[in-house]
Amino acid sequence: MSADPTPARRSRRGTGAVTLHEVARIAGVAPITASRALNTPDQVSEEVRKKVQDAIAKTGYVPNRLAGSLASSRSKLVAAVVPTIAGPVFLETIQSLTEALAEKGYQLMLGQSGYADSREDALLDAIIGRRPDGIVLTGIMHSEQGRQRLKAAGIPVVETWDLTPSPIDMLVGFSHEQVGRAAVAYFKARGRTKLAVVSGDDERAARRTQGVVAAARSAHLPAVTVMNVPAPTTLRSGREALSELLSSRKDFDAVFCSSDLLALGVVTEARSRRIPVPEQLSVMGFGDLDFAADVLPSLTTVRVDGTAIGRKAAQFIVDRAEGRAVKDRVVDIGFEIIERQSA
């Protein structure tokens, strides 16, 4: 029996891999429409997106992102670097960044720097080599080597959770120094003038402490007592910090904490020693985490809109990646002190 000289055309290209043409055929759309549903989903209808996604689920198709990026000069990948994934204060930003990018057909890669410039530099080397469409960084303090690499790479960069008049590229954040100053004004307005700070030893928390110290000095208040603990901070480190402060015989009637976990630890230790909060000791946290409103006493804290940071960072990256001009490259989202029972 002779072989058929005109065998049926395969849609799996000899490697067994399902192609986009097969996905399009099953979905009942043109290949270019299927491609748009994957790469620019906002350009097709919800009905078309569902047909294509159903076809992908049926065939097990996996898009060749490398081939797509070579053709379009875009990888559809965005990298984000955070100090730690154990720090809940960054979770809202990561979640909203992921969702906002996905709405535009981009995926997020996440790296953890561990509060160390050397680790951030190593991450940036790996990230830049993969040519993402954008990089989102936490904070503004980077090594000189890292800043030079980022500027030379020509990749859109958004720094977040901080504020400076001279960002690497684009910036969404707030002033940590002003957070510290606002905390002093809040305590002072309520008659608390002998202040202590329990703070993580990371750079952003340090500038909140600097804001407290500077504002207290300007208001001619007693010198601020500062207790630093290793970052990332924990409830346990808050308890231990207050214990050490009390052992030092320092006189203070209010404590500003660089995280809600620290604040909860301070309150827990105070109550274990029968120190009434806020009657004898006022406590303020930072972050307005989910538990802050539900513990007893509920935590007075500083709220930052992490969701807004993530969504604005995503908008910056997508606009630049798709060739649209960004007019206001620095956005100050501000912060808010949420008054509850602990202060």
pLDDT digits (tens, 9 = 90+) for 21-49: 999 999 999 999 998 998 888 889 999 99
Angle at 210 between CA 206 and CA 215, to 5 degrees: 150
CB atoms within 10 A of CB 224: 20
- Whole-angstrom Cα distance, residue 111 to residue 113? 7
Mean pLDDT (the chain) is 89
- Name the amino acid, one letter, at 90: F
Q: Which residues contact 308 (CB under 8 A, 6 or more apart)?
A: 96, 172, 333
pLDDT of the residue at 317: 96
Q: What angle do CA 315, 318, 323 make, to 5 degrees?
A: 125
**8 Å CB contact between 235 and 261:** yes
Position with higher pLDDT, 69 vs 39:
39
**Residues in the chain, overall count:** 343
All domains of the chain in start order, with CATH: 20-63 (1.10.260), 75-174+306-335 (3.40.50.2300), 176-303 (3.40.50.2300)
Q: Read off the pTM.
A: 0.77
What's the pLDDT at 10?
Answer: 36
Q: Which residues contact 232 (CB under 8 A, 6 or more apart)?
A: 83, 84, 86, 87, 115, 200
Higher pLDDT, 122 or 266: 266
Tell me the pLDDT tens digit for each residue of 96-119: 999 999 999 999 999 988 777 788
**Tens-place pLDDT, residues 182-233:** 999 999 999 999 999 999 999 999 999 999 999 999 999 999 999 999 988 9
Containing 21, the helix (H) or strand (E) segment is helix 20-27
CA 305/CA 284 separation, integer angstroms: 17
Angle ∠(191,197,199) on CA atoms, nearest 5 = 150
pLDDT single digits (tens) 125-149: 888 888 899 999 999 988 888 888 8
Q: Which of 124, 100, 97 lies closest to 111 in space, CA to CA?
A: 124
Residue with tokens 């990749």: 155
Return the pLDDT at 74: 72
Whether 62 has a pLDDT exceeding 70, the answer reads no
Indicate the DSSP class of residue 303: E
- The pair of structure tokens assigned to 102 is 């996905």
Q: What is the pLDDT of residues 274-313, one digit of tens each?
A: 999 999 999 999 999 999 999 999 999 999 999 999 999 9
Average pLDDT over residues 252-264: 97
pLDDT at 147: 87
Residue 269's pLDDT is 98
